[in-house]
Structure 1
């Protein structure tokens, strides 16, 4: 294990000891985060919007928890970028985001911050300089409409009757991604009924508008012929709306309510994500469902479970919870981390926890998109989300269960679960050979041009990273030969989507480093010859974008400017470095000098507690509009890179010594 950190036998021994010590510290720290029942769940932080919306939800319903509101206000003030642009950004060190800033300002004012307070003045000036609140996105303007801050004409026409549309219609719920369906159904009720927030303190933010909101005429973008056509349809539909029979509207509202009730998902919440939960809660308030009703109480409990209370007095709201995802990768990091019986017991408890959470019923909305012979067999991202199992999570869990069964000498232990999961995933392969996160062929791009979809996130098309993960599952599960056609089609899809510089885009992690790792790992595990030119091109790209300090880094700026792929303004991060290393290891580059330098970087930035940390947001919820910070990514990915390196470079070392 020679490299910059070693010189001769003594230096090599010291380097090995340093690596072992780092792995031991990381292992113990990660084990310390395991829950009693065997799973892990790290914080999942976003930008200011979710926490701001939580505060405003309390004002919508006139159910204000003043202590929680105060703690959330501290958090919003703390993440305001007063040192940069004065407002709030979508991700760490990003540019000012007008929608995020409007919501945060509104929430702080609702929480009692004076408009003439220095931080509020600075935020207001930044918002006005960016065009004012009228330039905020559709979701923000709908929120403002419910608080009577903008007229309803500032929002798109989204009638609740949408839920009654036949499937052949070009705009239909089944043609949208799961998160869009879950969000849109309750939101159409709020819009159709012109919901009005209680707003008990009569908070107003008129000062954030350049033109008075009732006089503003440019709420919608008119760029592009398709968008212009949809705006014409939108205006015509508004004229027709008064003619909608009252009975039809009542039936649509009843159908929407039944749809939400059926998918409530207990205290794990509608869709397992914050926006549908909060819109469903506000819909129940609007419909007059009392607080004592079990449906409303359960929904509020689900929302409250997303709140993180920090020891420093702050509180914020997560967009969702990530226990299945965190548990799967934590196990991966611990598989070769040593620690004897204690670690083996922790891993087995985690596998038992995962095995119990496979979705095996027919409730999924996806059932309309796969052959009737395909039975569900996936895992959700959250604790429970039976309508919407996640292909990405399912691929990782199925692969690991298969490998673990073989390691135990009991390949039949999880065989049925693995086979069912693989059948389900392959059944959701899209026509172009790739895989989306939840649905097949959810790629009707025209839907992202309707006025409601200014965020461009109504769809769940196939992506490179998820497709690579499915290949990983097919390779490790032993199901590759049985699904040879699906493998070939997916490999062909990935060859077509490789960028000219050799990298692959990352939809669910930032960005090209994440995508390239995901793809290379999958390709190697289904037997692609890693000496092929297209794979060597990806390796060359990884080596080319390594930073001088030995690490790798990349910001979310690359979603706006692809030419920045693999760069982070010179700043390396632990998770990006781990992804790059794991990609190199997958294609046989563990002994490369670049790998040793990457390992040295991880050893050098490990914290005293044994884990790693970086302030950056490391994944998009939706590229270009919403980003996430998985706190677990700087816990398990660097540890996994270290353990994988030791496994590959020192294979003869007895496991007990680790």
Structure 2
């Protein structure tokens, strides 16, 4: 069987398999495995608030134990050297809280030694220290934190609370409430972690309770109100587990009781985020049901699935139902536009993002021409997407123009990624690809010219682009190439050719591509010693977009995707989604279905003869 025949057969088989996995409501629901901190925090919180769910605690404990290395450590990504300090401290503390593991266990002793040898708890991440402080495991800073004073300082430097990115606001608001009170929950389940401080740090970090009157002010009320107005129906704060954990402690700090409905609802909401990965139970930070369903629908329609089939109509209904009609925080910087975007999770009703919107619109497009209701929703979605373009020409993730450069230079861990929401190559490229291939909006448009110019200016010297929400330079380069080609830039343009040459140069001997999460930390390309399915699909898809005929590199990449023996172990499970550099990476179980299928479809369609 020749390659083209193999591709067609493979597309048909993959299409059938995906259709079999559709849920009754028209969605697709795959696991979303993120950093283990959500499992660790859940164990600690349940024990601290005396929430009786031994089954869940035992299930999450099993996952932590399954992820522990022979050195006693835990890692943020598989090829991380030895272990990750913050992940190890979080998992170590959670296992002690669970009550199922003793500090005297051999691997636990190794974990404690690793923590001490790498600087102790003081060297862990900001989020780790904040969560530990809430639970009495780490001291709050001695500096008094008054929200009113902080807001006055922000005003003096011409900064508004909404100049922070939405992620930062959702996480900082409850933390500020807790810091003002130096709030800590004391509980008999709390283990002693004094041995995880260095001798010097033990002397310096004797916690100091806030002896003054609580700093509940108008600005504390603003923060409380900000939080409460963004609680979704499932009880979570903006559908994120991490922000919900902090919300619970922040509200407790200002007088809420563990029995209050808002706290009870938040815990229940967190429990609903638990999902079985196929091996263990895991608390997902935000289930990607809308994202997965939109992408799967896009892939199936690309494969040739009939838009009029009952299954694709059910998928359309699900996608359409989750278009957001409420105004969210994005309106602060973009006030004159109607809502019309999509979010990541099914429970997300006020926090749309650019990537989910362009993905959902690909499905809506197929029905907009014949259905006026769909057409209206589609046009609103496209209008919202276009309106979210930053002044610099690129597209952000959640909110436009929350990208003040000086904020990225603040002495706060991951300031650029956590505090701001700048334009990125991956989001700009994918938005351009949608607008060009679906809407026919190309270089004659000033908006597209501006975006293309942004991509040109942000191309790396080696021809690649850095991708913010995936790993990493392969991801960004795929989006950059496909976006530029769809915008009408000739494939022979030096910018595209330079990117093609770079992608071709990093192809592995087995025909695939593989890039380490280390790239996300070091900010330069770091190769894996093996190929991964997702990154191979991205690279091949980019080359297909840029090459008029199938090159040897494309053929070898397609062959890699066709060979079933490549779909096992680390080749499929390596985390290729990015959250926070060095801390938070994701393995999307859906990606091994979606991206290879799309690459094969694009190969079939472009090289039909």
**Partner residue in 2 for 1:442:** 402
**Partner residue in 2 for 1:421:** 381
* 1:647 has 2:608 as partner: no
**Partner residue in 1 for 2:337:** 374
2:483 to 495, 519, 522: 522
2 CA distance for matches of 1:454 and 1:528?
Answer: 34
* 1:486 has 2:447 as partner: yes
The answer on whether the counterparts of 1:379 and 1:390 sit within 8 Å (CA) in structure 2 is yes
**Partner residue in 2 for 1:591:** 550
How do 1:544-559 and structure 2 match up within 5 A? 544-559=505-520
2 CA distance for matches of 1:398 and 1:340?
Answer: 17
2:225 to 258, 265, 283: 258
How do 1:126-525 and structure 2 match up within 5 A? 126-153=114-141, 159-161=146-148, 165=152, 168-170=155-157, 172-211=160-199, 213-216=201-204, 249-267=216-234, 269-290=236-257, 293-310=260-277, 312=279, 314-338=280-304, 344-362=309-327, 364-370=328-334, 372-402=335-365, 404-405=366-367, 410=370, 412=372, 414-450=374-410, 452-453=412-413, 456=416, 457-478=418-439, 480=441, 484-525=445-486
1:91 to 77, 101, 106: 77
TM-score by length of 2: 0.91
The answer on whether the counterparts of 1:575 and 1:633 sit within 8 Å (CA) in structure 2 is yes
2 CA distance for matches of 1:169 and 1:386?
Answer: 34
Structure with greater contact order relative to length (CA < 8 Å, sep ≥ 6): 1
**Higher mean C-alpha displacement, 252-261 vs 127-136:** 252-261
* 1:573 has 2:532 as partner: yes
Deviations 1:398-432 (A, max 9, x none): 24422x136xx527553332332232233222221
Deviations 1:116-155 (A, max 9, x none): 101101111211221212211222222222333332227x
Deviations 1:562-621 (A, max 9, x none): 4435x222x111100110111112223552222121111111136799x99622111110
Please report how far the alpha carbon of residue 641 of structure 1 lies from its aligned counterpart in structure 2 after TM superposition.
1.5
Please report how far the alpha carbon of residue 22 of structure 1 lies from its aligned counterpart in structure 2 after TM superposition.
2.5
1 CA distance for matches of 2:383 and 2:305?
Answer: 36
2 CA distance for matches of 1:589 and 1:150?
Answer: 59
Indicate the SS of the match to 1:628.
strand
Structure 1 residues 458 and 55, CA, compared in 2 at 3 Å: closer, same or farther?
same
Structure 1 residues 72 and 483, CA, compared in 2 at 3 Å: closer, same or farther?
farther
Please report how far the alpha carbon of residue 499 of structure 1 lies from its aligned counterpart in structure 2 after TM superposition.
0.8
RMSD value, Cα:
3.0
The answer on whether the counterparts of 2:92 and 2:111 sit within 8 Å (CA) in structure 1 is yes
1 CA distance for matches of 2:465 and 2:265?
Answer: 42
The answer on whether the counterparts of 2:194 and 2:202 sit within 8 Å (CA) in structure 1 is no
1 CA distance for matches of 2:162 and 2:153?
Answer: 10
Please report how far the alpha carbon of residue 448 of structure 1 lies from its aligned counterpart in structure 2 after TM superposition.
4.1
**Higher mean C-alpha displacement, 50-59 vs 190-199:** 190-199
1 CA distance for matches of 2:413 and 2:206?
Answer: 16
Indicate the SS of the match to 1:297.
helix
Structure 1 residues 60 and 205, CA, compared in 2 at 3 Å: closer, same or farther?
same
Indicate the SS of the match to 1:316.
strand
2 CA distance for matches of 1:262 and 1:166?
Answer: 25
1 CA distance for matches of 2:266 and 2:584?
Answer: 24
**Higher mean C-alpha displacement, 388-397 vs 58-67:** 58-67
Indicate the SS of the match to 1:374.
coil
Please report how far the alpha carbon of residue 623 of structure 1 lies from its aligned counterpart in structure 2 after TM superposition.
2.5
TM-score by length of 1: 0.85
**Partner residue in 2 for 1:231:** none
**Partner residue in 2 for 1:103:** 90
Gap runs ≥5 in structure 2: none
1 CA distance for matches of 2:359 and 2:305?
Answer: 23
The answer on whether the counterparts of 1:398 and 1:417 sit within 8 Å (CA) in structure 2 is no
Indicate the SS of the match to 1:568.
strand
The answer on whether the counterparts of 2:137 and 2:193 sit within 8 Å (CA) in structure 1 is yes
Please report how far the alpha carbon of residue 268 of structure 1 lies from its aligned counterpart in structure 2 after TM superposition.
6.2
Deviations 1:350-398 (A, max 9, x none): 1221112212232x1121212x432222111111333321011112222
Indicate the SS of the match to 2:102.
coil
Structure 1 residues 413 and 63, CA, compared in 2 at 3 Å: closer, same or farther?
closer
2 CA distance for matches of 1:650 and 1:268?
Answer: 50
**Higher mean C-alpha displacement, 575-584 vs 59-68:** 59-68
The answer on whether the counterparts of 2:407 and 2:415 sit within 8 Å (CA) in structure 1 is no
The answer on whether the counterparts of 1:268 and 1:385 sit within 8 Å (CA) in structure 2 is no
Structure 1 residues 166 and 29, CA, compared in 2 at 3 Å: closer, same or farther?
farther
**Partner residue in 2 for 1:233:** none
Please report how far the alpha carbon of residue 180 of structure 1 lies from its aligned counterpart in structure 2 after TM superposition.
0.9
Structure 1 residues 310 and 552, CA, compared in 2 at 3 Å: closer, same or farther?
closer
Structure 1 residues 452 and 608, CA, compared in 2 at 3 Å: closer, same or farther?
closer
**Partner residue in 2 for 1:225:** none
Indicate the SS of the match to 1:621.
strand
Please report how far the alpha carbon of residue 507 of structure 1 lies from its aligned counterpart in structure 2 after TM superposition.
0.5
